[in-house]
Structure 1
C-alpha cells in the first residue's frame, strides 16, 4: 500500500493498494478453437449507433437525436449512466471554473434542471467561486471545494440519474438496446459501419452510417484497427481500479464533525485503519446523510483489459467492503449502526486505452488558455494557476478510421490531461460533441473528419454547450488575453 499525494497535476490523493498475491492460479489455456463461418441477422440499421451508455454515451445519443438522426444506443447493463450510476461514482466532479462560472453546460444543464432537489446535494449557486476559509473547509469535506474555493461538484442519487437518462433518450426518440455487448466492428475498408453484438438472442448485427465509441476502453476503435495509447503509470491514482460501495445506517454529519474538528484523533484513526486493514479508504459524502460512499481502496498493477485481473479486483473489493464496514462500525463516530448497503455492479475503471486522434489535449496546453479553432467544449483546469482548457474536435476523431468518433475517458490526450478528461462532466462534454457531430455527418453524408466545424459548433451552441468559438452565433466572447491566472 502506498500513498499518492495531491499535486498540481494530480488533484486527487489516495492510498493505492498494490498487487500482491492472487486468489486463483494462472490459467492453463492452450491452442485455439476454430469458429465456423455463419450468417448473422441484422437487428437494425440507423444513422448513428452509440456503443456504451455511460455518461459520454448517454450525452452522445441525446445530442445525435437532437440533430434529427435515427439513433440506437447499445448498452451491456440494464441502465444508463455507467460509472455515474452503476459504478456509484455519484460525486460529479467540478463543472465550474475557479471564478464560479459554469463552463461544462449543455447536457449537464439538462440533467441538473430535471433532477429533483432531493436527488442532488451541493453548494448553492451563489457560493460557486467563493473564497472563504470557513466555507471552503465545510464544502471540502463535502467534495465541493478545492484550493480554498467553493465549486459546483455535487453528489447525486444514482437511481434518479438512471431513470432520468433513460427517459431523456426515450423522449428524443433513441432506440435503447440493453443487455447487449459489442463483439466486433463491421468494417468497410477503413470505415466502421456498425457492430456485431451478443445478447440473449445470440449474435446480431447493427448497421450505422456513423458509430460513436463510448465504451470507455476504446473497444470499437481498438478492434477496428485504430491507433491508441495505453501508457499506464501504476502508482498514479488515475490509473488504478476499484469497485465502489456504499454503507447505509450512518450519520455523516457526525463523521464530518469528527474528521474536520478533531485533527489529531482523525490522524490516529487513519493510522489505526492502515495498521489493521493493510489498506485504507475514508468515505465521501453522498446525496443523503445516512449513506456513505467509498470509492476504493484503489488497486494498481492490474489491467481492466484482462479478465483475470478484473475478476481479482472484484473479489478483493468485496472483501474490502466487509472489512471497512466492520472497522468503521467499531471505531468511527457516526458509523455505529453502519451496514453494507450496495457494492457497485460496475467496475470502477479509470484508464485502459486512449485514442490517437487527429487532435490532442496535452499538458503544455494548460497554461496557454488559447481556444482551439475546432473547440467543442471547455473544461475546468486542475488548479487556479491555469485558465480553463479548450477541448478540440480532433481529440474525438481517429487518425485513420472513418465512420467513427470516440468520446468519454478514451479521447485523445496525454496521460496528465487524462486525469481530468476522464471525469464524468468531461465525458458529458465530449459525448455531446461526438453525438452532435455524428448526427450532422450522417445527415450530410460526409465522414466525421470532413464535417464543417462551424456547423458543428453552431449545433452545440444551440444545444446550450459553452463555447468560445469565433464567428459562431451564441458562443461566448473570445477572451481578450489568454494568460494564466496569477
Structure 2
C-alpha cells in the first residue's frame, strides 16, 4: 500500500488494462433506432413502510434493522440469495472491522452476523490478537489477509453459503419479507420524491409502494433514475475502478502454498512472472475459510463500466477464460495445487465502483483527521495507522434533492479516495443498518428521511449495538 498521484491512489496492486473486443458490428442497430412502447397500467404487488432494493450487505442490514424497529419491510433482490458480493461475489475476505489499536469499531449487525456463523465457517485471528504488532504474529496473519502495516486486524474469511443462510435467518427472524428473482427497474416518483419501485420478474412488471425506499443496488440504479446527482469519477489505475468475476479452486493445499511463498520468495516471483507470460492477466491465490480451498479475487480488469451491459458481458467472458487458464498453470507449477479443481465461479460479478450519490454531507479526504461528525451513524477504520478513524455521517446516505430515498452501501456520498474503504463489506453493513433504522423512524413519523432527528437516530442505533462516538461524547 502506498500513494501516487498526490495521495489519491493509496493502493498499489496490479490492474490489467482492458483489451477491448467489441461485439460484432453485424448486431449494431441503425443509428437512432427506437421502439415505441404503449402506455400501461402496472399492478401494485405490495405496500409497505420500508422497501429495500438490493439484498447485498447494505440491503440485508437495512432490512433487518428496519424490521426490528417495527416497520413493515420488504427486501427486493434479483438473485436467489442474500449477501451480494460478500456471498455471490465471493468477496469472502471481510476487510478490517477493527481499527489500528485493535478496537472493534464496526459492530451492530456486522458483529452479530459474524458471531452467528457456526464453527468452521469463519477463519481469522482470535480476539486477543486484534491490534497485535508482534512481528511474527503479524507476518503469519498477513499471509492470511488479516494483518496490514504490521498490525493484526479482525478481517475474517467466511464460508459464503453460511453467510447466505445466516443472513436469511436474521432477515426472517426480524419479520422482513424477502422477494427474490425480482429486479428493481424504475423508481415510482411523486414530484421529487420516491414512493416505491417498479420491478420486473416472471410475473411481469409490478410495483411496490413504500413510505421510504432504500437504494441498496450498489450501483445507484434507483437514485440515478430518480434524477439524483451523482459522481462516477474513478482513476483507471486504481483497483477500486476495476471489475472481475472471482472464483475458487477446491483440492488445494494452501498451507503448502503459503510456506512456499514465504520460504522461496524468488521462486514465487519467478512463478508470477512466468504466469503473466503464459496467461496474460495473472493473479495470486488467497486463503479462504478452509485450507483446501483457494480464492482468486482477480485479475482486476480496468477500463470497463459497471453500468454498460456489453462491458459487463466482456468482463464475465474474460474472467471465466482466465479461471481455466489459471487452473492449468497452477496445477503444473504451484506447490499445493497439483490436485486442484474448478470449484465455483462467482454467481455475481465483482464491481468495485459505479456511481456515488451527491449527498447532504459526503465523506471527504480531509475528514480523515479524527473529527466526529455531528450526525455520526458509524465509525470506519482508516486506510493506514497514520490516519484516525473516520466518522460516517448520516448525510452521506441522504441525496441532496430527492426525498423518500436513502442510499447506503458502496454508492454513498464520498470522494473517490474515501470510497476506497467505504465500499468494503463491513462499511456496507454499517451504512445499511443506519439506513434501515432511519427509514423506519421516518416511516413511523411520516416525515422525509432528511427530517429524522439525529439524536433519535443515534439512540436507536446504539440500541442495536452500533458503536458511536458522538453519542458517547454527548453524555448518552
Structure-2-length-normalised TM-score? 0.97
How has the CA–CA distance of structure 1 residues 215 and 474 changed in structure 2, closer, same or farther, with 3 Å as cutoff? farther
**Structure 1 residue 14 displacement after superposition:** 2.6
The match for 1:124 is 126
CA contact (8 A) 1:454 1:472 kept: no
Q: Cα deviations across residues 208-252 of structure 1 (Å, max 9, x unaligned)?
A: 000000000001110000000011211110110000000110000
Counterpart secondary structure, 1:425: helix
CA contact (8 A) 1:47 1:442 kept: yes
Q: Which ranges in structure 2 are unaligned for 5 or more consecutive residues?
A: none
Q: Cα deviations across residues 91-134 of structure 1 (Å, max 9, x unaligned)?
A: 00000000100000001111122111210000000000000111
How has the CA–CA distance of structure 1 residues 264 and 218 changed in structure 2, closer, same or farther, with 3 Å as cutoff? same
CA contact (8 A) 1:9 1:382 kept: no
Q: Residue 148 of structure 2: which of 141, 146, 149 is its match?
A: 146
The match for 2:167 is 165
Where do 1:171-250 residues align within 5 Å?
A: 171-250=173-252
Q: Distance in 2 between matches of 1:213 and 1:243?
A: 23
Q: Distance in 1 between matches of 2:382 and 2:8?
A: 10
Counterpart secondary structure, 2:395: helix
CA contact (8 A) 2:68 2:175 kept: no
CA contact (8 A) 1:458 1:472 kept: no
CA contact (8 A) 2:94 2:155 kept: yes
Q: Which ranges in structure 1 are unaligned for 5 or more consecutive residues?
A: 476-486
Q: Cα deviations across residues 74-100 of structure 1 (Å, max 9, x unaligned)?
A: 000000000000000000000000010
Q: Cα deviations across residues 178-211 of structure 1 (Å, max 9, x unaligned)?
A: 0000111000111000000000011100000000
Q: Distance in 2 between matches of 1:159 and 1:279?
A: 29
Q: Distance in 1 between matches of 2:471 and 2:328?
A: 57
Q: Distance in 2 between matches of 1:266 and 1:56?
A: 38
How has the CA–CA distance of structure 1 residues 107 and 401 changed in structure 2, closer, same or farther, with 3 Å as cutoff? same
Q: Distance in 2 between matches of 1:120 and 1:10?
A: 31
Counterpart secondary structure, 1:35: coil
Counterpart secondary structure, 2:391: strand
Q: Distance in 2 between matches of 1:104 and 1:69?
A: 24
Counterpart secondary structure, 1:391: strand
Report the count of equivalent residues. 471
**Structure 1 residue 365 displacement after superposition:** 1.1
Q: Distance in 1 between matches of 2:355 and 2:101?
A: 33
Where do 1:48-447 residues align within 5 Å?
A: 48-366=50-368, 368-447=369-448
Q: Distance in 2 between matches of 1:5 and 1:472?
A: 34
Q: Distance in 1 between matches of 2:3 and 2:122?
A: 27
Q: Distance in 1 between matches of 2:323 and 2:3?
A: 25
Counterpart secondary structure, 1:48: strand
The match for 2:24 is 25
How has the CA–CA distance of structure 1 residues 403 and 167 changed in structure 2, closer, same or farther, with 3 Å as cutoff? same
Worse-superposed segment, 173-182 or 23-32: 23-32
Q: Distance in 1 between matches of 2:12 and 2:23?
A: 30
Q: Cα deviations across residues 364-421 of structure 1 (Å, max 9, x unaligned)?
A: 111x201000000000000100110000000000000000000100000000000000
Counterpart secondary structure, 2:285: coil
Q: Distance in 2 between matches of 1:88 and 1:11?
A: 23
Counterpart secondary structure, 2:379: strand
CA contact (8 A) 1:128 1:152 kept: yes
The match for 1:461 is 462
Structure-1-length-normalised TM-score? 0.95
**Structure 1 residue 171 displacement after superposition:** 0.8
**Structure 1 residue 443 displacement after superposition:** 0.3
**Structure 1 residue 267 displacement after superposition:** 1.1
CA contact (8 A) 2:11 2:238 kept: no
Q: Distance in 2 between matches of 1:345 and 1:39?
A: 34
**Structure 1 residue 469 displacement after superposition:** 1.4
Counterpart secondary structure, 1:254: helix
Q: Cα deviations across residues 116-168 of structure 1 (Å, max 9, x unaligned)?
A: 12100000000000001111110000000000000000100000010111111
